[in-house]
Structure 1
Amino acid sequence: MTLHRQVQFWLLSLAVFCAFLYVFSGVLLPFVAGMAVAYLLDPVCDRLEKIGIGRMWATLTILLAFIFILVLFFVLLLPVLGNQLAKFLENFPDLVQKLQGLLSKNLGSGLATAAGIDADDLQATMSNLIGQGASFVGKLAQSLWSGGQALLSILSLFVITPVVAFYLLLDWDRMVRRIDSWLPREHLAQIRELAAEMDAAVAGFVRGQVSVCLILGTFYAVSLAVVGLNFGLLIGMGAGLVSFIPFVGAGLGLVISVGVALVQFWPDWPWIVAVAAIFAVGQFLEGNILQPKLVGDSTGLHPVTLMFALFAFGYLFGFVGMLIAVPAAAMIGVLARFALRQYLASPVYRGTGRPAPVPEDRVEE
Structure 2
Amino acid sequence: MSLGRQVFFWISALVVFILFLFVFRTILLPFVAGTILAYLFNPVAGRIERLGFNRLVATLILLGGFLLIVVVGMVLLMPVLSHQVGGFVSNLPGYVTQLQRWVVTTFQGSRLGSIFGTSLQDLQTSLGSVTSDAASWLAGIVGSVWSGSQTIISSAALVVLTPVIAFYLLLDWDRMTAQVDGWLPRDHAPTIRRLLAEINAGVSGYIRGQVSVCLILGVYYAVGLTVVGLNFGILIGIMIGVISFIPYVGATVGLVTAVGVAVAQFWPDYASIGYVIVVFVIGQFLEGNILQPKLVGEHVGLHPVWLIFALFAFGTLFGFVGMLVAVPASAAVGVLARFALQRYLESPLYRGTRNGNGSGAS
Q: TM-score, normalised by structure 2?
A: 0.94
Task: Confirm or deny that 1:341 pairs with 2:339.
Answer: no
- When residues 264 and 90 of structure 1 are mapped into structure 2, their CA distance, relative to the original with a 3 A threshold, is same
Distance 1:35 1:150 in 2: 21
| Equivalent in the alignment of 2:201 | 200
| Equivalent in the alignment of 1:92 | 92
Q: Structure 1 unaligned runs (5+)?
A: 357-365
Q: Secondary structure at the match of 1:152?
A: helix
| Equivalent in the alignment of 1:291 | 292
CA shift digits 1:159-183 (9 cap, x unpaired): 1111011111111111110110111
| Equivalent in the alignment of 1:106 | 106
Tell whether the 8 Å contact from 2:104 to 2:120 is kept in structure 1 after alignment: no
Distance 1:174 1:272 in 2: 56
Letter in 2 for 1:177: A
Tell whether the 8 Å contact from 1:108 to 1:122 is kept in structure 2 after alignment: no
Distance 2:65 2:219 in 1: 20
Alignment of 1:2-21 (within 5 A): 2-21=2-21
| Equivalent in the alignment of 1:361 | none
Q: Secondary structure at the match of 1:335?
A: helix
| Equivalent in the alignment of 2:320 | 319
Q: Shift of the alpha carbon at 1:113?
A: 3.6
Distance 1:277 1:78 in 2: 28
Letter in 2 for 1:58: A
Letter in 2 for 1:67: L
CA shift digits 1:39-79 (9 cap, x unpaired): 11111111001111100000001100000000010000122
Letter in 2 for 1:250: A
Tell whether the 8 Å contact from 2:29 to 2:158 is kept in structure 1 after alignment: no
Distance 2:256 2:105 in 1: 19
Letter in 2 for 1:33: A
Alignment of 1:1-365 (within 5 A): 1-110=1-110, 111-135=112-136, 137-142=138-143, 144-354=145-355
- When residues 186 and 204 of structure 1 are mapped into structure 2, their CA distance, relative to the original with a 3 A threshold, is same
- When residues 58 and 154 of structure 1 are mapped into structure 2, their CA distance, relative to the original with a 3 A threshold, is same
Q: Secondary structure at the match of 2:98?
A: helix
Letter in 1 for 2:29: L
Letter in 2 for 1:73: G
Distance 1:190 1:140 in 2: 46
Tell whether the 8 Å contact from 1:108 to 1:123 is kept in structure 2 after alignment: no
Taking only aligned residues, the RMSD between alpha carbons, in angstroms, comes to: 1.7
Bigger shift: residues 77-86 or 287-296: 77-86
Bigger shift: residues 113-122 or 188-197: 113-122
Distance 2:203 2:140 in 1: 30
- When residues 310 and 94 of structure 1 are mapped into structure 2, their CA distance, relative to the original with a 3 A threshold, is same
Tell whether the 8 Å contact from 1:211 to 1:294 is kept in structure 2 after alignment: yes
Distance 1:348 1:259 in 2: 56
Bigger shift: residues 333-342 or 80-89: 80-89
Q: Secondary structure at the match of 1:312?
A: helix
CA shift digits 1:225-273 (9 cap, x unpaired): 1111111100011011100001111111111111111111111111101
Q: Shift of the alpha carbon at 1:109?
A: 4.4
Distance 2:202 2:108 in 1: 49
Q: Shift of the alpha carbon at 1:284?
A: 1.1
Letter in 2 for 1:216: L
Q: Secondary structure at the match of 2:184?
A: coil
Letter in 1 for 2:32: V
Distance 2:302 2:335 in 1: 9
Letter in 1 for 2:161: I
Q: Shift of the alpha carbon at 1:139?
A: 4.9
Q: Structure 2 unaligned runs (5+)?
A: 358-362
- When residues 347 and 85 of structure 1 are mapped into structure 2, their CA distance, relative to the original with a 3 A threshold, is same
Q: Secondary structure at the match of 1:244?
A: coil
Letter in 1 for 2:75: V
Q: Secondary structure at the match of 1:53?
A: coil
Distance 2:41 2:356 in 1: 57
Q: Shift of the alpha carbon at 1:283?
A: 1.0
CA shift digits 1:201-226 (9 cap, x unpaired): 10011110000000000000000111
- When residues 147 and 331 of structure 1 are mapped into structure 2, their CA distance, relative to the original with a 3 A threshold, is farther
| Equivalent in the alignment of 2:360 | none
Distance 1:36 1:227 in 2: 36
Tell whether the 8 Å contact from 1:112 to 1:119 is kept in structure 2 after alignment: yes
Letter in 2 for 1:145: W
Alignment size in residue pairs: 356
Letter in 1 for 2:160: V
Tell whether the 8 Å contact from 1:235 to 1:253 is kept in structure 2 after alignment: yes
Distance 1:336 1:343 in 2: 10
Bigger shift: residues 88-97 or 53-62: 88-97
- Percent identity, aligned pairs only, is 56
